[in-house]
Amino acid sequence: MILRPEGEAVLAIGQASHAWLSGQLARAWGNDRFPVPAPLEEVVLGALQHDVGMAEWDLRPERSAATGLPLQFFELDRPTHLALWTAAPRRVLSQSRYAALLVSLHGTGLYERFPPKTDDPEIARAVAAYLDGQRALQAELAAALGAPPEELARNQALLALWDGLSLALCRDQVPHALHLDATTFTLDRAAEGHDTFTLDPWPFAVDRLALRAEGRRLDGAPYPDGPALQRALDRAPVLTVGLVLRPA
């Protein structure tokens, strides 16, 4: 779950909708400077589905005792996070083995880039077991697909970039820097409007990119308990977040 400020309310954007935005970025990616992802359809599907493990959780999220709002994705306890990410790639296997492989690579990439700091030996063992299990699955799928390691590494890096860019847009976090190999991308707000942003350098095939995601508007925070929060989510109006990216 992502909580986006919406006046005095917040917009609760599910991780699957954020992933939808990532998929929109993936499909538009590519120009004279930045190659189109390959294989395109599989990579786009992987971007669209990269947070599939969170989809069911986001329908009935846990409440944060600190805010009275849904827990955001970075606030999940470690056992829950591991369970969701362990299940995620298997949810995509019936669609595409390549996309499932990318979902798995994205999950392990998160743990490799942001290793959890813990003195709890049970958590450390659980993280190690997750990484071992996913790496075995990755080796199995990569061998079955005949996918070159350099291609997978490139697509994993692209997915990490689209994920970070989509998160920054959904959370309205600007200015924001993102990195791909030796290139630093800078996301900032454009002068012409609150929901128009610039990206430099420009990696897309079009010169203006319209994006969208959906979220539930919550007006009455803080909610006193989990049932009150769930009732609010169930009756909350669903709003479309319309965003525009253009070159700096």
**Confidence band (pLDDT; 50, 70, 90) for 118?**
confident
- What is the mean predicted confidence (pLDDT) over 59-84? 96
pLDDT of residue 6: 86
Residues 6+ apart with CB under 8 A from 209: 24, 25, 28, 244, 245, 246
Angle in degrees, CA 217, 218, 221, rounded to 5: 165
Contact 172, 188 (CB under 8 A): no
**29 bridge partner residues:** 204
Q: Is the model's pLDDT at 180 over the cut of 90?
A: yes
| pLDDT the model gives residue 221 | 77
Residue 201 has pLDDT above 80, yes or no: yes
Residue 121: which pLDDT band, with cuts at 50, 70 and 90? very high
Would you tell me how many other CB atoms lie within 10 Å of the CB of residue 107? 24
Domain extents in the chain? 2-75+149-247
* pTM score, whole prediction: 0.96
pLDDT digits (tens, 9 = 90+) for 31-44: 999 999 999 999 99
Across the range 124-152, mean pLDDT stands at 97
Given this model, what pLDDT does residue 194 score?
81
State pLDDT tens for residues 220-232: 779 999 999 999 9
Question: Residue 4 corresponds to which tokens in the numbers above?
Answer: 């986006």
The pLDDT value recorded for residue 83 is: 97
